[in-house]
Amino acid sequence: MNVNPCNKYEGDLTARVFGDLSVADERRLQAHLTECVNCKNFLAEMEDVLGKLGAPQRPEMPEHFWEGYWHRLAQRLENAEPAAPDSVLARRWEKLREKWAAPPLMIPLARTAGVLALLVFGVIIGHYWWPQNNDAGRQITQTIPPAIPVVQTRAEQWLERSQILLIGMVNEELSIEAKPDFSHQRLVSRNLLTEAQALNRELDPVANRKMLQLMNQLELVLLQIANLEAEHDLSAVELVRDGIARNGLLLKINIAELSQHAQQNAAPKKPREKAPEVL
C-alpha cells in the first residue's frame, strides 16, 4: 500500500534513503518519525524498494573486449570527420537562433525593411505583369487577378512563424547540461495562439477548410509550448516533439505553403496568355 509522506519532509526522507542526510537534519527527521506513522511507513517502503532493486546489473565484458577498446577507439578517432551540424534543419535552426538573438530594436527595423522590400518587389512585378495600355482607341479586355485578401496573407505569415517555432523546438539541444530556456518560444506561442483566434473568426470556413484544420492541429502544439514549465521541463518538450513528429506537422505546413504558392502563381498567368490575342 502506498503512503503519502508529509510534503515538508519529502526531501529529508529521500536524502535519508540514500544516506545523504546531515546530522542535524537526521535528528530533526527522527523526531518527526516518532510521531508520524505515514512518514515512517513511507521510509520503510522506500528502503524496501532500494533493497529489492539491488546493485546495478552490468555485463561482465570479456578481457579481450577491454584489450581491444583502445584500438577500436583509435581507429574511430582516425576515421572521424570534424564536427559539423547534424542536419539541414539543424543549420537552419542555428541561423534562426542568431536571428532571434538580435537586439530588440533591430527586430522591428528588420520587419519594416522586409515589408518595404516586399512592396517594391510587388510594384516591379505589377509593372511587368500588367500589359501597358498606350494606344488610344484600343481596348484590351483583361481579367484583373483577384487581390489576395489581407486575412489570407496573415494566415500564411502565421503558418510561417509557427513553422519556424516548430523547427526550433525540434532542433533545440535537449540536455540537462544545455539548460534550454523556452521562455521566448512560450511567448511566441502565446502570440500565435491569440492571432489564431482572430484568424479563425475571419477566415472563410469553406474556402479555407484545410488551412483551418491545420491551424487547429498547430494550436494544440502551441498550447503545449505556451504551457511549458519555467524550469527545464525536458519530458514535456519530448511530448511536444512527439506531437510534431506524429502529426507530421512540418510536412503539412510545407504542403499548405506550396499549394498556396501554386494557387497564387496560377491566378495572374491567365491574363498574360490572353492579352496578345486582342491585338
Where along the sequence are the contacts to other proteins (CB under 8 A)? 1-2, 10-11, 13-15, 17-18, 20, 45-46, 48-50, 52-61, 66, 69-70, 72-73, 76-77, 80, 83, 174-179, 231-232, 234-235, 238, 241-242, 245-246
Say how far apart CA 98 and CA 106 lie, in whole Å.
Answer: 12
Burial state string for 140-178 with b = 16 or more CB within 10 A and e = fewer than 16: eeeeebeeeeeebeebbebbeebbbbbbbbbbbeeeeee
Q: Which of 18, 128 has the CB closer to other proteins?
A: 18
Q: Which of 60, 273 has the CB closer to other proteins?
A: 60
- Least gap, CB of 39 to other proteins (angstroms): 13
- What is the per-residue DSSP string for 207-254? TTHHHHHHHHHHHHHHHHHHT--TTT-HHHHHHHHHHHHHTTHHHHHH
Residue 139 near residue 222 (C-beta atoms within 8 A): no
- Least gap, CB of 49 to other proteins (angstroms): 5
Q: Which of 198, 245 has the CB closer to other proteins?
A: 245
Q: Which of 160, 242 has the CB closer to other proteins?
A: 242
C-alpha cell at 133: 495600355
- Least gap, CB of 13 to other proteins (angstroms): 8
260 to each of 151, 263, 265, how far by Cα in Å? 13, 5, 9
- Least gap, CB of 1 to other proteins (angstroms): 7
- Least gap, CB of 5 to other proteins (angstroms): 9
Q: Which of 183, 235 has the CB closer to other proteins?
A: 235
